[in-house]
């Protein structure tokens, strides 16, 4: 009897140790409550939005595409572009440049002539002053032979509001002022004079500006970007322009992707003998540098 009692006491003493060796997935029970319920704490609550550092990014890529035909019809077209964006906390800097060029002849007897020639560049700085609200300053330049421009310079200060502002996705709208300075080609000035229209070599316009943009890295392999810009001369009702750009790219591996881009430029009051609308559609090979 005494032996049985001693065995029982030993079993009770060893029970906690045995239970401690039982796998957690079989025996562990979480407490229903910690014994304290706090709905307020000292100091400020943690922000709901992610920290600014989570949006930091460095992006850079270059792209190029070309088409060559020979024989009965001869043509050569090329397009190239580069983009860069740097985001650090509340500061964002971006830069972009592109070239589009083409020469063609409709028949073997015709001389090859330049049919597309434009060069574009843009610099921009954004400062996020309060949450999704930002101020910015942008400077862009364009040289376009067939729009009659030796130079079109645009200086754009304004404000922007980012409805979505993530590292991989941005949706925003802008309002601001646009200072446009045009230097016209001599050939277009001469052609206008022959039709009885006198054009100055240079012209300055003061415009109101509105813009809406969207950028999304849909996945690791697909990205989409688009933007629509409207500019209206504050002094002359017929002087207004509309610009739309869109790009869809898909990765093919090793930092390379294929991009399809579309650009539309509409000028409601262009130079004489210049059409109101220009479009460029291109398929390019893109290499992601950063």
Boundaries of every domain in the chain: 118-288
Q: Report the chain's mean pLDDT, rounded to a whole number.
A: 83
Distance between CA atoms of 157 and 146, rounded to whole angstroms?
Answer: 28
d(CA 152, CA 120): 9
Tell me, rounded to whole angstroms, the distance of Cα 105 from its chain centroid.
36
- Summarize pLDDT for 123-166 with one digit per residue, the tens: 999 999 988 899 999 999 999 998 999 999 999 999 999 999 88
**CATH assignment of 118-288?**
2.40.128.100
Cα–Cα–Cα angle for 46, 51, 52, nearest 5°? 150
Burial 208-226 (b: 16+ CB within 10 A, else e): ebebebbbbbeeeeebebe
Each residue's pLDDT tens digit, 237-259: 899 999 999 999 998 888 899 99
Tokens of 152: 């079109």
Q: What is the pTM of this model?
A: 0.75
Question: 262: which residues sit within 8 A by CB, 6+ positions away?
Answer: 244, 245, 246, 247, 279, 280, 281
Confidence of residue 52 (pLDDT cuts 50, 70, 90): low
For the cut 90, the answer to whether the pLDDT of residue 13 exceeds it is no
CA dihedral 263, 269, 274, 280 (to 10 degrees): 0
Among 242, 220, 222, 223, smallest CA distance to 231 is for 242
């Amino acid at each position: 009897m005494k032996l049985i009692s001693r065995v029982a006491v030993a079993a009770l003493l060893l029970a906690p140790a045995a239970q401690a060796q039982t796998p957690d997935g079989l025996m562990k029970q979480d407490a229903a409550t910690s014994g304290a319920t706090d709905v307020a704490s000292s100091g400020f609550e943690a922000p709901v939005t992610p920290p600014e550092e989570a949006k930091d990014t460095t992006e850079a890529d270059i792209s190029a595409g070309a088409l060559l035909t020979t024989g009965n019809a001869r043509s050569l077209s090329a397009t190239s572009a580069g983009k860069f964006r740097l985001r650090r906390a509340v500061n964002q800097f971006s830069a972009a440049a592109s070239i589009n060029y083409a020469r063609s002849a409709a028949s073997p007897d015709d001389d090859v002539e330049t049919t597309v020639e434009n060069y574009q560049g843009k610099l921009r700085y954004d400062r996020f002053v309060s949450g999704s609200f930002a101020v910015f300053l942008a400077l862009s330049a364009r040289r376009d032979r067939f729009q009659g421009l030796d130079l079109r310079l645009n200086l754009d200060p304004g404000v922007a509001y980012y409805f979505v502002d993530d590292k991989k996705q941005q949706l925003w709208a802008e309002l601001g002022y646009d200072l446009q300075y045009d230097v016209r080609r001599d050939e277009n000035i001469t052609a206008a004079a022959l039709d009885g229209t006198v054009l100055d070599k240079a012209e300055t316009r003061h415009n109101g500006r509105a813009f809406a943009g969207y950028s999304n890295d849909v996945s690791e392999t697909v990205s989409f970007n688009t933007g629509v810009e409207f500019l209206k001369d504050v002094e002359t009702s017929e002087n207004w322009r509309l610009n739309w750009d869109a790009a869809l790219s898909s990765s093919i591996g090793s930092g390379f992707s294929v991009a399809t881009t579309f650009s539309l430029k509409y000028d409601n009051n262009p130079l004489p003998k210049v059409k109101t609308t220009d479009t460029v559609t291109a398929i390019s090979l893109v290499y992601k540098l950063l």
